[in-house]
Amino acid sequence: MREIGVLIVDDSVIYRKFLYDIFTENLGLEKVDRVSGGQAALDRLALGKHKLVTLDLEMPGLSGMETLSEIRRRYPDVKVLMISSHTQSGAAVTIDALEQGAFEFVAKPNLDDREAMLRFLREEISRKVNHLLSGGPAPAVFRSTRAKVAKPIPAPKPTPMPRVHEKRAQPSGNEIALVAIGISTGGPAALATFLQAFPKDYSRPILIVQHMPAMFTKALADSLNQKSLLNVIEAQHGLPIEAGTVYIAPGGKQMCVVKKGEVPKICITDDPPESFCKPSVDYLFRSIAGAYEGKVLALIMTGMGSDGARGAQLLKRRGAVIWAESEESCVVFGMPREVIKLGLADEVLGLASLAKRCAAFFS
């Protein structure tokens, strides 16, 4: 797998050299080529030597989005890693790219310290590409580009799962009060497909943790809101949790649920990462287990790493229903695999079936 051919597409000679060094020196790859534009990239890909492309979004001539569209049309098996700017407009275009099939993205950080910026990019690209090369689980880390991330607080070791006869009875569809989703790599495209299956009068709230940096989650919520009949928003602290609304956890923050009185509310904190993730699926699931007991339908969908497995264990002990996305439809079969491996998944479904099943579960 280390012999994978890589094509770097960037109009900046400095970035081309920097990315080349990452792939050859840090990742130990030998088949690495560089071009300065979209048309040149398409010409090189026609030779059939490359399986991974890093693609700059902002290029003269054929744009990054136009190039991506052509790559997906002509060479659907080629993985594309987008290199985007850390701006609001860059975030919106990046979400479009992910929904159109880009494998992942790395945002160029807004750092005055050039060495810190290069170090950040080296770590982010190496982590994501290493996962692709190895096929194994890897943490999805999205850190602030202006400050060092606090070391994660060690999570307590999960209590062994009770035997089947010790579990609480699972609630019926009518008893479920909330849908909670944990998702990472491949998430934007999967969520766009998933949420389109839901009717406008869907009677449950949906809380989603998508591993993504700050600013990008707002763009994701806006994009999904345009594609779905449901009201999709980036979650804000203190918002009441209402039926028919989809709440996307803000990037670079932790999202949880607090229940004081009858109405559960969104709580946004700056607590440290868990499982190297911020936002963290485990963090959300743990709070949901306390606020809703077992009256929850939890979905673990495409993504690398194991975030969500600890939280799913806790929800399962409370009697929650847990579904996992199948390997066939996952971009990265990491998070669902961990839940399935632990015996927590009540059902394992492909993306299309998962969406239809969830949309009809309460009818």
Catalytically active residues are: 184, 211, 307
Give the DSSP H or E segment for 336: helix 335-341
Dihedrals phi, psi of 110, to nearest 5 degrees:
-90, 80
Cα 160–chain centre separation: 28
Measured distance CA(56)–CA(196) in Å, rounded: 29
Pairing of strands 32-35, 6-9: parallel
Dihedrals phi, psi of 38, to nearest 5 degrees:
-65, -45
DSSP 45: H
Q: For residue 201, give every residue at least 6 positions away whose Cβ sits within 8 Å of its Cβ, in sequence order, or none.
A: 244
Q: Which amino acid is at 107?
A: A
Cβ atoms of 155 and 317 closer than 8 Å: no
Q: What's the distance, Cα to Cα, between the start and end of the chain in Å?
A: 46
Cβ atoms of 264 and 292 closer than 8 Å: yes
Dihedrals phi, psi of 50, to nearest 5 degrees:
-120, 135
Cβ atoms of 313 and 340 closer than 8 Å: no
Short-list 223, 224, 212, CA closest to 251:
212
Measured distance CA(348)–CA(265) in Å, rounded: 30
Task: Give the pair of three-digit tokens for residue 112.
Answer: 């005055």
Cβ atoms of 335 and 305 closer than 8 Å: yes
Cα 286–chain centre separation: 19
Measured distance CA(168)–CA(163) in Å, rounded: 10
Residues in the chain: 363
